[in-house]
Amino acid sequence: MHGDAYDLMEKLEPESIDLLITSPPYWGLRSYGQEHNEEILKEWLAEDESRVQTDVPPYEWYRAHGGVLGLEPLPEWFVAHLVEILQRGAAALKAEGSMWINIGDTYFARWSSIRHDGRQGLGDNPRSRRRTPMGGFRQEKQLLLIPARFAIAMQDQRWIVRNDLIWHKPNVPPRPEKDRLRLGHEHFFHFVKRPKEGRPKYYYDMSKVEPGALDVVKTMARSGSDGHSATFPTDLITPRILSSCPPGGTVLDPFCGTGRALSVAAANGRRGIGFELHEPFHQAATANVAKVVKATAPPQQRTTTKRKKKTEE
């Protein structure tokens, strides 16, 4: 579905999703073709003199004033908006469902660069510079720990964290910094619902995870497809989909990009629903999923279609 996950989450049937798996925009990296209002912090503060920078506007206000998810002036705003959007999908997730969220970290810099797309340091993507307000933990050279802040904010909304899976990317490009190690991992959090009473119970097929089943998975970051460079690696998400969604169940990716999670779901006998704001990615996702559905249609169905054609001839 083409649109903003914030709106589309509300259209889902209650208790209809087995697995929500996604990789949202990360903070302060890419615009994904959206125009962002860089004056938004000033506008928010000007509306009410008693406000301070870290008072977060609701996502609806933010979007109405030209704000783009991932380009919030402060990481605190980003974390709050991401949690707000995911919370809108909570009722649609079955009680025994799972949420897997892949999120990477960012270093703070007073002056930072935003790309339309592309991994940091990979490719020659156009970028724009912007100034981010300093204060509190937002200091030069600081690793912002956004994944941890996000996971804690989710815990505060009653979610239970079952795993903080580390995606180890052995092929990250070289960096110019001479005073720190290269960031070679991202987080993939597994959240489940906290029941009103008792311990959480959720679907999990342990026979479908990686052999050895550690919470560290080594997978190359690849350059992506259809002009989108943050594409999910198939080998990272296939075990998550097979172990956290029963056969015939429904997978939701609310920031689906070119639809990799949906394609993997379709190729493995699961249904898929995806949301994407950027129209070219939405079209690419639709085409990619259609290809997989066609290729994996049961042989019976294909034979029937052929026979039908012959009879018609």
Q: Is residue 255 near ligand SAM by the rule CB under 6 A?
A: yes
Q: Is residue 228 near ligand SAM by the rule CB under 6 A?
A: yes
Output the smallest distance, CB 224 to ligand SAM, in A.
Answer: 7
Part of the chain binding ligand SAM (CB under 6 A), chosen from 103-111, 156-164, 172-180, 224-232: 224-232
Part of the chain binding ligand SAM (CB under 6 A), chosen from 42-50, 156-164, 194-202, 252-260: 252-260
Part of the chain binding ligand SAM (CB under 6 A), chosen from 42-50, 132-140, 151-159, 254-262: 254-262
101, 118, 276, 292: which one binds ligand SAM (CB under 6 A): 276
Part of the chain binding ligand SAM (CB under 6 A), chosen from 23-31, 120-128, 158-166, 177-185: 23-31
Please spell the DSSP secondary structure of the chain, one letter per residue: -BS-HHHHGGGSPTT-EEEEEE-PPPTTSB-TT----TTHHHHHHHH-TT--TTSPPPHHHHHHTT--TT--SSHHHHHHHHHHHHHTTGGGEEEEEEEEEEE---B--SEEEEESSS-TTSS---EEEEE---BTTB-TT-B--HHHHHHHHHHHTTPEEEEEEEEE-TTPPP-S-SSS----EEEEEEEEPPPSSSS------GGGS-TT--SEEE------BTTBS-PPPHHHHHHHHHHHS-TT-EEEETT-TTTHHHHHHHHTT-EEEE-BSSHHHHHHHHHHHHHHHHHTS-HHHHHHHHHHHHHH-
Output the smallest distance, CB 228 to ligand SAM, in A.
Answer: 5
What is the pattern of x (binds ligand SAM, CB under 6 A) and - over residues 230-249? xxx-----------------
149, 190, 260, 270: which one binds ligand SAM (CB under 6 A): 260
Q: Is residue 250 near ligand SAM by the rule CB under 6 A?
A: no
56, 105, 258, 266: which one binds ligand SAM (CB under 6 A): 258
Q: Is residue 277 near ligand SAM by the rule CB under 6 A?
A: yes
The SS3 call for residue 77 is helix
Q: Which is nearer to ligand SAM, 84 or 210 (CB)?
A: 84
Output the smallest distance, CB 69 to ligand SAM, in A.
Answer: 4
Q: Is residue 69 near ligand SAM by the rule CB under 6 A?
A: yes
Query: How many residues interact with ligand SAM (rule CB under 6 A)?
Result: 22
| Footprint of ligand SAM (CB under 6 A) | 4-6, 23-25, 32, 69, 228, 230-232, 255-258, 260, 275-278, 281
